[in-house]
Structure 1
Amino acid sequence: MTTPAAAPVPYAEFDGHPATEDDLRTAAFFNYGHFTAMQVREGRVRGLRLHLDRLDGANRALFELPLDGRRVRELIRHALRGAGVVDGSVRVHGFLPPGATATTVMVTVRGPARMPTGPKSMMSVPYARTVPHLKRPGEFGQTYYGNLASRAGFDDAVLTLPDGSVTEGSFTNIGFWDGDSVVWPQAPALLGTTMALLEQEFPGMGVRSRHSPVTLDGLGAYRSAFVTNSQGMAPVRRIDDTAFTVDEELMRRLEAAYERAPWDTV
């Protein structure tokens, strides 16, 4: 028997059917909505409940409508089958096109991805996202400042408030290590799923963590730093002119904590 060929990636479905031109116009011209991004391996996801809760919460906040997790799981499974893969980078988007009374769900599938693990240099930029607790498409400011940092010779940008408070990376959470605890900036930011999973698993690893204000002029108080997102984590070697120790033991402990998080079948 001949195995069916996998669909070209990126692959997209809308409400369980392969994307049509009309569907893609919705995404292109009406991008008021929300999404979550996840890495799928063998049909499983770490922190799936966090992703489903994020989608439901954002859908209620934007459209005053629930987004049923069982429906979302079925749409993800259907899109993976349509793409002919069990491993991939999956995004689930929620839209409410003009005149619609039910949320349109777009699921996209790309190849698997992992964050490069090399130490990152980051440039501070004066930018704060609107309603940062919601994950939304079309984030011009984050992309703009990320590109600006790249052109200046940095790997990425770190977002800051007018008072110099550090909030998050352009598309990452950022954490700091003071030699005793992981410190997450106490500031408006998206709660990333990898960050949430680390916090969930830290107690079992004997790792302390806390949320506390972090400012650019106070970066010298921290020995090391790192960033996380759905693709993994990486150490930070400097922010602007402040250098950090690339602590390989710390990164091993973070990876071990993340590996403790269970896989959920989609």
Structure 2
Amino acid sequence: MISSSFKPVNEIVTLEPSFLPNDPTLSNYETVDRRIPLLQVFQNSVIVTTVGSTIKVLLAITTAYALVFIRVPGANIIFLGILVALMVPPEVSMLPNFMTIEALGGRDTLWGIILPGLGTAFGTFLLRQHFKSLPKELFEAADLDGAGHFRKLFQIAVPVSMPAIATVTLVTVVNEWNSFLWPLIITDTRETMTLPVALNQLRSVEDDVASYGILMAGAVLVIVPMLIIFACLQRYIVAGLTQGAVK
């Protein structure tokens, strides 16, 4: 994909393809920039991903903490409801979400993209299982020092749970960045489109075989930021997913 994004058309549509471009060119990226407002849609994706991921991770942390360390009536029933939410395909909620957001005036806005997906059942489930494996002695000592729930959460639970939180953050960021169906439905103009939606629009414009280099350039722009984030956080993934699995 990266190699093809730097190839001219005659090196892509050929009977003797080469792995590396013989005559590298930036024309494919220049074409992408001309066809779609690249800076605008990239900024939209960054805003949606940053705001949405931050709120989702914060809600997952606080919800998981409440289910484990605060005596909430019916906590097990609430957790069961979270597990059920994991089994429901997101497409099922598209229509009610669209009707709700449109009624609130959020159609074709960035907050309209962000709002319906702020809850994260996966993150809550993973962090709850991790919090249950933390030594109770840590929190008993904090109680003796007079610490409230806020201090116990952000001075004890969060610092010792960074691998699990980093895993939830990585999964959430990737899902937010790559989200396609909901932003496609709720946005109408290029000013509010995210990168995956703009790339799809680029595909609808470029229908001939000569467009492969342009499409590969667009795909690189979508994928590379996530590869960088993944490279920075990947060492936490295994530790985060396996913590709490065994005693």
TM range (shorter): under 0.3
Looking at secondary structure, tell me which structure has more strand per residue.
1
Output the TM-score relative to the length of structure 2: 0.27
Output the TM-score relative to the length of structure 1: 0.26
Structure with more contact order per residue of length (Cα contacts < 8 Å, sep ≥ 6): 2
